[in-house]
Structure 1
Amino acid sequence: MTNTWFITGTSSGFGRLLTEQLLSRGDRVAATLRRPEALDDLRAEYGDLLWTAQLDVTDAGQVRRVVDDAFKALGTIDVVVNNAGYGVFASVEEATDEQIRQVIDTNLLGSIHAVRAALPHLRAQQYGRILQVSTAGGQTTYPNFSYYHASKWGIEGFSETVAAEVAPFGISLTIVEPGATPTGFGSSLATAPAMPEYTDTPAGEVRRMLADGNFSLPGDPRKIATAMIDLVDSGQTPLRLPLGSDTYDDVRASLVARLAEHDTHRTVAYSVSADTGA
């Protein structure tokens, strides 16, 4: 069975790999990216299976127009993949206002725009799937990624809410959480001049690890793209899909630690309830 996919951020990384793998097996792909010419090689090879459009996900009006055009051109779309992303690698004080705005506009608001644009079409179809690409950093944190985390924790909260709201319409949403993977994303991270005050802090340590090439990237990008496709093929609709040993281990450790701390506050939490008589 073939499907039709709408994918953002297809010029490189997971978006490009998904597009390649889907086209090679005969699926149709509506691929959106800032520079459509980056997919000229795939268009030449696969012809009408590939529909492309220029898209800047930070432009809400453009997102609506492109999504509407894709549904109009292709008739139905089975899977919407929110993949476009932008990263800022800097301590909380080092990042510029423009960098902060760009990461929030792309990762959080851009994904929200795409979901809102697609939902009327998916409701009319009475079926559909949304894959929201997040990261291990949507549930745990690492120094120098505070603004990236802000966007990913935000989109995970949004997505979890949307999943419950749209389930009655036959629409499912899965948050996909790849770990650190050599997709070229790291080399495209925006950076800022380092402040000496952070040299001997966790932020400085992670900066040195990245500069020295000691930042582990255990994920296999092709396997991750395949796992996303396999999930859709399986018909399973989990709320989250962790992909990568680092994602599994880091998120699990974070959740266990958070639950342990949460449990220490049970007495004071209950003490402020209105029915305690306090």
Structure 2
Amino acid sequence: MKTWFITGTSTGLGRILTEKLLEQGHRVAATLRKPEAISDLKDKYGDRLWIARLDVTDTQQIKAVVKQAFEELKQIDVVVNNAGYALFCAAEEASDEQIRQQIDTNILGSVQVIRAALPYLRAQGSGRILQFSSAGGQTTYPNFSYYHLTKWAVEGFCDTLVKEITPLNIGLTIIEPGAHHTSFAAALHTAPVMEAYDATPAGDVRRAVASGGFPIKGDVNHTVQAVINSVEVYPAPLRLALGGDAYRDVRASLVSRLESLDNQKELALASELKD
């Protein structure tokens, strides 16, 4: 059995992951902004659930909580960056404050949790980091520009980090779920709507979300178990797409980008200095 450190455990996939791990006999260090949200799990599982209040936009608090968790639990095998949310609006509609909060939570929060954990993982000579992204870390949908900004950024960070930490026996996997029936949609942050975008793809997506027009076929239990199983795979898979929509949308995006790149091959090579 392993010890897991997880951010954002009050709702959604973070809560479900915590529940399933505890059911299977693992130990969980659960962090969240409102610890009372999982008091029922504490009553049920006792000392196997370690809880701390954590706002991932507070870097000093991240450092303190990670330090406390490693010191009290002695070893943490898996660090899960799950805390995050989506700002759902056209790019022009968001306020400066909303943009900053999205970046501080989804990018800087994830980066600082990893940075805080790395010295302890290096010291124990092992560990696995799971970074929750989404299919939206490889493809894009209208009205999610700032969410994509954060997910593409954190994927670039993690893709680079793997090259640095693999020789230290620390693995990292980027988790890319598609649409699942969790609290994600209910927790979308929005901005005042501008009429100018009603007849654009942004407006179409907004109406589809409001009407429930998007088919959601992701199997939450299967996805969470796949996340748990991934830590037993060596070497760690760099990315884990979960859900048929994640596979299809990410693949289509990658194929389109590769075709575009290949169409520019002659131009790219012509710009290279000749020997």
TM class by shorter chain equals over 0.9
Report the CA distance between 1:216 and its aligned residue: 2.1
Percent sequence identity over matched residues?
58
Give unmatched runs, 5+ long, in structure 1: none
Q: Contact 2:78/2:129 (CA < 8 Å) preserved in 1?
A: yes
Q: Give the C-alpha shift of residue 192 in structure 1.
A: 1.0
CA deviation map 1:49-79 (0-9, x unaligned): 0000000001111000000000001000000
2:19 equivalent to 1:20: yes
Q: Deviations over 1:102-145 (max 9, x none)?
A: 11111111000000000000000110000000000000000000
Match status 1:67 vs 2:66: yes
The 3-state SS of whatever aligns with 2:274 is: helix
Displacement of 1:233 in angstroms is: 3.2
Shift of 1:235: 4.2
Q: Tell me how far 1:230 sits from its aligned partner.
A: 1.3
Equivalent residues of 2:171, 2:235 under 8 A apart: no
- Which structure 2 residue ranges, 5 or more long, are not aligned? none
- What is the one-letter code of the residue matched to 1:203? A
Which residue in 2 is equivalent to 1:153? 152
Task: Find the residue that maps to 2:51 and give its secondary structure.
Answer: strand
Partner of 2:214 in structure 1? 215
The one-letter amino acid paired with 1:113 is Q
2:185 alignment counterpart? 186
Supply the distance in 2 between the matched residues of 1:25 and 1:257 (Cα, whole angstroms). 41
* 2:107 counterpart residue number: 108
Contact kept, 8 Å, 2:54 with 2:65, in 1: the verdict is yes
Q: Aligned letter for 2:24?
A: R
**1:56, 1:35 → 2: CA distance?**
9
CA distance in 1, matches of 2:5, 2:55: 14
Contact 1:86/1:102 (8 A) holds in 2: no
- CA distance in 2 between counterparts of 1:216 and 1:189 reads 17
**Code of the aligned partner of 1:29:** V
Q: Structure 1 runs of 4+ off > 4 angstroms?
A: none
Of stretches 230-239 and 163-172 in structure 1, the one that deviates more from structure 2 is: 230-239
RMSD between aligned alpha carbons? 0.9
Q: Which amino acid aligns with 2:188?
A: L
Instruction: Supply the distance in 1 between the matched residues of 2:154 and 2:212 (Cα, whole angstroms).
Output: 29
Q: Distance in 1 between matches of 2:93 and 2:216?
A: 25
Q: Is the 8 A contact 1:88 1:189 kept in 2?
A: yes
- The match for 1:169 is 168
Distance 1:236 1:10 in 2: 27
